[in-house]
Chain A
Amino acid sequence: MNEILNLLTGLAVGLNLLALGTSRLRLLIRAVAAQGVLLGLLPLLLEHGAMDWQLVFITIATVAGKGFIIPTLLHRAMRTANIARELEPFIGYISSLLLGAAATIAAVVIAQHLPLFPEHVGSLLVPGAIALILTGFILLIGRTKAISQVCGYLILENGIYLFGLLLIHATPMLVEFGILLDVTVGIFIIGIIVDRIQRAFDSLDTRKLTALHE
């Protein structure tokens, strides 16, 4: 079980680098969606084959939310805004990649210093989660288009979700479902605001949002 788990988490971390290195928004959204699907499948593995309807339901809801609903919303926002690329990021693509690699190494080092259960020591769950969170922050800070920043936020959320799997036996499904619902609604609202920003400013460049200051 643990090997498959590590394989999926490793793939998710690999998708980070794809997200950091691309200027094409379509690819970025796809990478985030694929990451969401990979992570959404993990609860099935962690429960050691014990299938109950709640688990299946939460898996389907996560995969649908992270893998299909949210990316569709983002694709639509991208089409209405009529942009396909992030042209002038604050942090360039090569630097982003290097930062992402450094963040991944840092995640492994940090995870080694945290007191963990023996069954979590060998797994990529904790370092993977930290790597995703750090990557999310790099995208949030380093990109200028609203859609790329939302993708950064999603990777951050994916990292927190991965971290939350540590508690999968302890937290009731109802709570996890509430959290997932909030995240989906949040992205939905962000999508609407992105659309309005596009109409109000005729651009999705968040550097133009500078009217409010002291």
Chain B
Amino acid sequence: MKSLLLILIPFLGAILSALWPSNRTRPLFLPVFALAHTLLAFWFLTRPPGFDPAAWLAFDPLARAILPGVSLLFLACAVYAVSYLRLHPQDNRVFVAALLLVLGLLSAGHQARHLGILWIATEAVTLAAVPLIHFLGTPRAFEATWKYLLVGGTGIALSLLGSICLGYASLHGGGSGDITFTALLEHGPLLSKVWVLAAWVLLLVGYGTKMGLAPMHTWKPDAYGESPGIVGAILAGGVTSVAFMALLRIKSVIDAAGESVFASRTLLGLGLFSTLVAALFLLRTRDFKRMLAYSSIEHMGILSIAASFGAPGAWAALFHIWSNGLTKGALFLSAANLQRAAKSSSMDDVRGMSLILPRSSRIFVAGMFAITACPPFAPFFSELLIIRVGLGAGQGWAIGLFLFCLLLAFLGLSRIVFAVVDGRPRLKNPERIHLKETAGIIAPSLALLVASLWLGLFTPQVLRDAWSAALLQLFAQP
């Protein structure tokens, strides 16, 4: 029951910040409540609380393997948000409250052990993120919000349909129709096959939309490109991980129902397609925030590929969630600095940022190398592990295509990053640069980058244990 605090603390913060009268001091709620959440999450990581398998919400091994990383990313974004909102005089009541609400709902989604609760939490996160995406209030931001709502809403509706199908599979197989994961796993082999397959396809498309797998990714570049950098970081590192974890949990049910070959194949196909589509768009886009969105699609593809390789692949996927989340956070926050100084995110308008914002540019370049899997950052080690597992599983062709996509992605990312950073400064409004590189806007992204480096070089034993424990939960049934 203690783990419910992870949900209730951010909710309390959201309520208090919505009632707080001062626009100037309200953003301070973010780091305070985020810090409390992170401390609690890491406390549970080192001392896992016991849980009741029948509970709807519990800090089970899978939540333990992922949620602390999301919490850490949120903490960095919350610290950044304080100095970010100081320069935005507009009313931030809804923004701060919605941000804390998102944290609470993310915690609920990660801990959900009931398909219905999982759906409610995911849908609620989708809705709570809406005011975050159109915070800047430009027509382009509303266009992005509309696409996000329509594509995301349709996707999430399909996952509800899939959840109902899984419930009917249980009923038709003689079960009680109980859609807690515990009951579904126990019932595994008896589930009605046709309904299980229909459920998997719908749930894969539904939660895949939320993750941003191609071809359901169309909302992603718009939403990430037009929203503030912190929002992009939280969507890319937090909301996607809830959706991916939902797919991991659901896949364990499908495996138990004896359809693991079909589930793995569809995951692998969708993952490879996403990686390829993202790599091709990375070669084309001219906007460095949209670039980050395509990079996120690529990494969601990598996660799906890893998840299709059975238990060792899932371990690598859990590792990659952490390394992608932390590195992506560093990239989004440093890119936000560049965009705020240059008042544009297109490589046609922005040049020579290394002379204007030297520190942010350095973090941006280092983050680019980190996310394209250059050693010794964490994504290098997690992707290496995925490749090893894939080759071990005899998926040589898939790994070959995967490596080719990584190469294309590296070319695309480095093309844009160096175009923005190098050269003589050329800005839209050269005389209007107000942004100073204070600790408040540099430290969070630097800390995330250091965390990514540290995770790669010295993956802590407690995390390795947490990931292995999560595998026991997912693959307990033979």
Contact = CB atoms under 8 A, between A and B. Distances in A.
Interface of A: 114-117, 133, 140, 146, 149, 153, 156-157, 160, 163-164, 166-167, 169-172, 175-176, 178-179, 182, 185-186, 189-190, 193, 196-197, 200-201, 206, 209-212, 214
B357 to A, nearest CB: 26
A3 B119 CA distance: 33
Contact of A175 (B120, B140, B147, B150): B120
B140 A212 contact: yes
B116 A186 contact: no
B311 interface: no
B124 A182 contact: yes
A117 B171 CA distance: 9
A176 B47 CA distance: 34
Nearest to B140: A211
A170 B167 contact: yes
Most buried by A among B119, B143, B167, B281: B143
9 contacts: A115-B192, A140-B154, A153-B157, A164-B160, A166-B168, A169-B177, A186-B149, A212-B225, A214-B221
B424 interface: no
What 3 A-B pairs come out closest when comparing CB atoms?
A: A170-B177, A175-B116, A200-B139
Contacts of A212: 140, 143-144, 147, 221-222, 225-226
A182 B128 CA distance: 11
Contact of B117 (A157, A167, A175, A185): A175
A175 B119 CA distance: 10
Contacts of B222: 212
B84 interface: no
Interface residues of B, number: 47
Contacts of A171: 116, 167, 177, 179
Given A115-B192, A171-B167, A182-B120, A196 B134 contact: yes
A156 B154 contact: yes
Contacts of A140: 150, 154
Contacts of A210: 143
Contacts of A163: 161, 164
A185 B168 CA distance: 27
Contacts of A160: 157, 160-161, 164
B259 interface: no
A200 B179 CA distance: 43
B415 interface: no
Interface string B274-308: 00000001001100001000000000000000000
A103 B70 CA distance: 43
A182 B123 CA distance: 7
B22 interface: no
A115 B172 contact: yes
Given A160-B164, A185-B124, 4 more contacts: A157-B157, A170-B167, A209-B143, A211-B140
A206 B127 CA distance: 20
Nearest to B226: A212
Contacts of A169: 177
A211 B139 contact: yes
A117 B146 contact: no
Nearest to B287: A214
B444 to A, nearest CB: 27
A67 to B, nearest CB: 19
A210 B178 CA distance: 44
A167 B161 contact: no
A206 B171 CA distance: 42
Contacts of B221: 212, 214
B347 to A, nearest CB: 13
B194 interface: yes
Given A117-B172, A149-B150, A179-B116, A167 B167 contact: yes
Contacts of B139: 200-201, 211
Given A179-B120, A182-B123, A209-B147, A193 B142 contact: yes
A163 B153 CA distance: 18
B251 interface: no
B164 A214 contact: no
Contact of B145 (A153, A166, A193): A193
Contact of A170 (B176, B225, B285): B176
Nearest to A175: B116
Most buried by A among B116, B145, B167, B179: B116
B154 A153 contact: yes
B195 interface: yes
A190 B146 CA distance: 8
Contacts of A172: 116
Given A160-B161, A167-B177, A214 B116 contact: no
B351 interface: no
Most buried by B among A114, A153, A167: A167
